[in-house]
Chain A
Amino acid sequence: QVQLVQSGAEVQKPGASVRVSCKASGYAFIDYYIHWVRQAPGQGLEWMGWIDSNNGDTNYAQKFQGWVTMTRDTAISTVYLELNRLTSDNTAVYYCARSSTYGSRWIDSWGQGTPVTVSS
């Protein structure tokens, strides 16, 4: 079955960077996009961007451009989200999620979420 397994909770200080991983299994990794979605405490879902698992192309939501980087390693079917210059506003649960690469990009599978806490 399709699984997206994310790395564990992170606690970081302001100004630091963090990398969250998302390991895919149960399907042809390169045939799908992986999206990252953020959810701050008590808030709604916020789409951050996607990466094409096949060729590494990315598209970031405007507010995340310049400080977020998405990469992938096809050899181990893993996608990474790197967050730089962290602030307390970045405290959230970060989800990876899978969609097709065509059509209306609905999300059919989600990771379990990775809590990231930014605190001095």
Chain B
Amino acid sequence: SYVLTQPPSVSEAPGKTARITCGGNNIGSKSVHWYQQKPGQAPVVVIYYDTDRPSGIPERFSGSNSGNTATLTISRVETGDEADYYCQVWDSSRADVVFGGGTKLTVL
């Protein structure tokens, strides 16, 4: 089955740029979606189809996808961005949804 690999944690200072990666075999050929989950809450999509941002998500959130790595970039990080972030793809060979293991973003 298709596997997505994320770093367990990323730390960044307020105002800096945080980058969270999602690795997968030729992931650039798939569409990647990103979800933010804060403690005690359901996840919320922040990026879909690699680069699209739902209404209400700040422009500070952006995505890219190429080769074997997709990246969620959060510019000018704020303490309110502290959360777990998950990448997700559709494995069409099995008709399965696949999530990455998640990355905890700490804004110190």
**Cross-chain contact A44 with B95 (CB below 8 angstroms):** no
- With known contacts A106-B45, A106-B49, A110-B42, A44–B30 Cβ distance under 8 A: no
Residue A56, interface by CB 8 Å = no
In Å, the complex CA distance between A61 and B91 comes to: 11
In Å, the complex CA distance between A95 and B44 comes to: 12
- The secondary-structure label for the interface of chain B is strand
Task: Return the CB mask of A24-37 against B: 1 if under 8 Å, else 0.
Answer: 00000000000101
Residue B61, interface by CB 8 Å = no
**Which A residues between 75 and 106 are near B, CB-CB below 8 angstroms?**
95, 99, 103-106
- Write the nearest CB–CB distance from B43 to chain A, whole angstroms: 6
- With known contacts A44-B84, A61-B96, A107–B33 Cβ distance under 8 A: yes
What total count of A-B pairs have CB within 8 Å?
61
- Chain A contacts for B95, CB-based, 8 A: 50, 59
Chain B residues bordering chain A, tally (CB within 8 A): 27
- With known contacts A103-B31, A104-B30, A107-B33, A45–B49 Cβ distance under 8 A: no
In Å, the complex CA distance between A69 and B95 comes to: 17
**Cross-chain contact A44 with B102 (CB below 8 angstroms):** yes
- Chain B contacts for A103, CB-based, 8 A: 31, 90
In Å, the complex CA distance between A45 and B102 comes to: 8
**Cross-chain contact B88 with A106 (CB below 8 angstroms):** yes
**Which B residues between 86 and 108 are near A, CB-CB below 8 angstroms?**
86, 88-90, 94-102
- With known contacts A104-B90, A111-B42, A46–B49 Cβ distance under 8 A: no
In Å, the complex CA distance between A104 and B91 comes to: 8
- With known contacts A107-B35, A107-B45, A45–B86 Cβ distance under 8 A: yes
- Chain A contacts for B99, CB-based, 8 A: 37, 44-47
**Cross-chain contact B33 with A106 (CB below 8 angstroms):** yes
Interface centre among A46, A104, A112 (most CB of B within 10 A): A104
**Cross-chain contact B1 with A105 (CB below 8 angstroms):** no
- Sample (18) of A-B pairs whose CB atoms are under 8 Å apart: A44-B99, A44-B100, A44-B101, A45-B37, A47-B97, A47-B98, A59-B96, A61-B96, A62-B1, A104-B48, A104-B49, A106-B33, A106-B49, A107-B45, A108-B45, A110-B44, A112-B42, A113-B42
